[in-house]
Amino acid sequence: MKRITAIILTMAMAFSMVACSSTPKNEVPQVEADVTKTADIVIVGAGAAGLASAIEAVENGAESVIIIEKTATTGGSLNFTSGSMSGAETIIQQIDGVEDTKESYVQDILKNGANLGDEELIRAYVEEDVAAIQWLWDNGLSDNKFSVDRATGTMSVFAPEHALYSVKRTYKASPDDASYKSAAHEILDTVVKGEEKIAIDFQTEAKMLVNNEAGQVLSVVAENANGETVLYTANKGLIMATGGYSGNLKMMGAFTENGSSYLVGGSDAADGYGIYMMQNVGANIDAEKMGYVPTFPMGLDTGMGPGKIASTYMWKYGAICVNQEGNRFVKETEADPAIREVALEEQTNAIQYDIFTDNIIETVNKLGTNVFWNYFYAPGMPYNRFVVEADSIEELAAKIGVDADNLAKTIADYNAHVESGETDEFGREFTEESLDYNYSCAINKVEGDKYYAIAQRALVVMTLGGVQTNTSAQVLDADGNVIPGLYAAGECVGGIWGKFVSGGTGVMGPIVFGRLAARTAMTTELAESYAMKAPQTVITEDMFEVKEEAVDTESRFDMTKALKDGEYTAEVEGQEGPMTVKTTVTDGKIAAVEVVSNNETPSIAAAALDSIPGAIVAGNTCDVDAVSGATLTSNRIMDAVALCLAQAAE
């Protein structure tokens, strides 16, 4: 990093020198590269935007496309979401007989974003989105299974995890291959794998963007898994599809009051460094919009990797939500999730407890409409271990660490409103007429023989700040001028949606703007006389500094110990359940390692499951380098092997 930082400083000095020159001649940073690669289009990031732009580039005549991906897998944030899509006037709505208009979609997005979005970019998205949905449909989406509307059976549905659209225009398709979490990822990945003109360099991390003398930004310096410095240069365009900063608590904390307390629901690879790299070649960034970090008021912290979107939805049946002080703080049945999001963000440690009883569970079981409870939290389900049970309010308060008197008073006050039928101070209603079955399904007091609590955190899975672009996905400088050669799509672009995101745009937005970026890059002549601007200081280098912890250099297992030959099996806790590993010792050495069973997320864990066992055997040690992007899985395999070796040493 020292050499690259020095180059950035040189670039900043060069920018200041040419700022007053009438004939721009930009200083070209000198890069000492071990490897150089060239392609028509170079893309940084293999998420939805990167994959979509690679495909579109080839469809528009690109003979070679290189995608640089710093993890070991494609998909980006699609690995952490079910992948809901949305669109107006689409083929899916036509089949369903749902009448919709693009204008209605535009207005809903503007409204959902607190009217802070960029209308021009939103209109460009909505217009292009129809073709993107059609492309997905033609490339396999038509064969996927959809979650359908319970009443009408349509594939077009309402999605209550976001503010509801005025028309059913959300599509929830399941992938055919269980190794994917979203149908969109599966389709994009399948097409890319079948295109020989597209290459992906995995475990290759971009470090710096580089301009040429004409001010065109067509090159990126990266470091690959072998520690080599690679200089990638594009003939037509460099597309940044690096994602947002939802994995960088320090950056979120710098721009939002409570951002450092959020539960991260995605990859720590989403650190915002791509935005920083673009800032360093003059890209414009709105500091205020960097604070647009929406959350879900439904995050479950499993203690094993990213948080999960796992609302209990028990408040729809009479439960309440309290903060760490034992007080209610919001109308639980509020139809606008943005209100509940902000309310939770403002609580101590951005945490709430859903409080309910056995009587409320009985109602849920009778109605049978609470999917999250039935499939995640009910007895025998994977998240049941996070349900706190008690025989009294006082015991429950002690177990979750809230003030017992406050909790008792909160419940008593709530029950009094239920009994009287009077609307409470938060606006929650308790009449049969108030039931809407989207946000309120039953009226119950919080009383019974058993009391329960489940902790829920403000969960962040995406961010809405980043660089400024035009409707062709070209990156703009502080004066609104296009930086030639440089494009951006996906979460690294800021200000499109406003302060909150609308359902389905988190998937379709990157796909749409990735397609636009590639199409523009393949059809636009590069300007040859651009004077580069001095970098802004909205994002600072210290936002990427990792606090150095005391490193435990002790090995998992002392390999100087004598090992008895044989086969040994050990079990460790995995992502969604146990992982079982078998280790074979022959002639006192590790001869084979097999992950017998696991409950990891396939698309993320695959690289570690494939490579770590072999690395352990090759090195004859359970302490090997973890796979980037699959660190948790890597460590679990190594821990299990250490337990096996402990058996062999007995």
* Interval 288-322: pLDDT, tens: 999 999 998 999 998 877 888 899 999 999 999 99
Question: What pLDDT sits at residue 433?
Answer: 92
Q: Which of 50, 432, 458 is nearest to 241 (CA)?
A: 50
Residue type, 328: R
What radius of gyration, in Å, describes the C-alpha atoms of the chain? Answer: 26
Band of pLDDT at residue 480, cut at 50, 70 and 90: very high
Q: Which residues contact 443 (CB under 8 A, 6 or more apart)?
A: 318, 418, 430, 431, 432, 435
**What 3-state DSSP class applies to 63?**
coil
CATH 3.50.50.60 placement within the chain: 31-292+462-525
What is the rounded average pLDDT of the residues 432-440?
Answer: 89
Residue 53 and residue 245 in contact, taking contact as beta carbons nearer than 8 Å: no
Q: How confident is the model at residue 603 (pLDDT cuts 50, 70, 90)?
A: low
pLDDT at 6: 43
Per-residue pLDDT reduced to its tens digit, 520-547: 999 999 999 999 999 999 999 999 987 5
Higher pLDDT: 563 or 274? It is 274
Burial 458-481 (b: 16+ CB within 10 A, else e): bbbbbbbbbbbbbbbbbbbbeeeb
| Cβ–Cβ < 8 Å for 83, 507 | yes
250 φ, ψ to 5°?
Answer: -65, -40
Q: What is the pLDDT of residue 58?
A: 98
Q: Which pLDDT does position 215 carry in this prediction?
A: 96
DSSP bridge pairs for 578? 573
**Average pLDDT over the chain, rounded to whole?**
92
pLDDT of residue 67: 98
Give me the CATH topology for the region 566-649.
Sufe protein. Chain: A (3.90.1010)
Task: Please report which confidence band the pLDDT of residue 11 belongs to, taking 50, 70 and 90 as the band edges.
Answer: very low
What is the pLDDT at residue 554? Answer: 64
**How crowded is the C-beta side of 3, counted as CA atoms within 13 Å?**
10
Whole-number Cα distances in Å, 415 to 284, 371, 455: 52, 26, 21
Taken in order 182, 186, 187, 192, is the CA torsion positive or negative?
positive
| Cα–Cα dist 129/135, whole Å | 10
* pLDDT over 90 (residue 599): no
What 3-state DSSP class applies to 560? Answer: coil
* Residues contacting residue 552 through CB under 8 Å, at least 6 positions apart: none
Average pLDDT over residues 392-397: 97
pLDDT classification of 627: cutoffs 50, 70, 90: confident
Which residue, 553, 541, 559, is CA-closest to 642? 559
Least-confidence region, from 253-262, 483-492, 601-610: 601-610
Options 3.50.50.60, 3.40.50.300, 2.60.15.10, 3.30.930.10; CATH of 31-292+462-525: 3.50.50.60
Domain ranges in the chain with CATH number 3.90.1010.20: 566-649
Domain with CATH 3.90.700.10 in the chain: 296-457
Tell me the C-alpha to C-alpha distance, in Å, between residue 9 and each of 173, 322, 533: 48, 50, 13
Q: Are 389 and 398 in contact (CB under 8 A)?
A: no
pLDDT score of 547: 56
Contact call for residues 90 and 165 (beta carbons, < 8 A): no
Q: Specify which residues 35 forms β-bridges with.
A: 230
Closest CA to 122 of 445, 496, 431: 496
pLDDT tops 50 at residue 18: no
How is residue 46 written in tokens? Answer: 């293999």
* 3-class SS string, 573-594: ECCCCEEEEEEEEECCEEEEEE
Averaged pLDDT for residues 187-194: 98
Q: Span 478-495, mean pLDDT?
A: 97
Report pLDDT for 155: 98
Whether domain 296-457 has CATH 3.90.700.10? yes
Q: For residue 599, what are its two tokens?
A: 């409950």
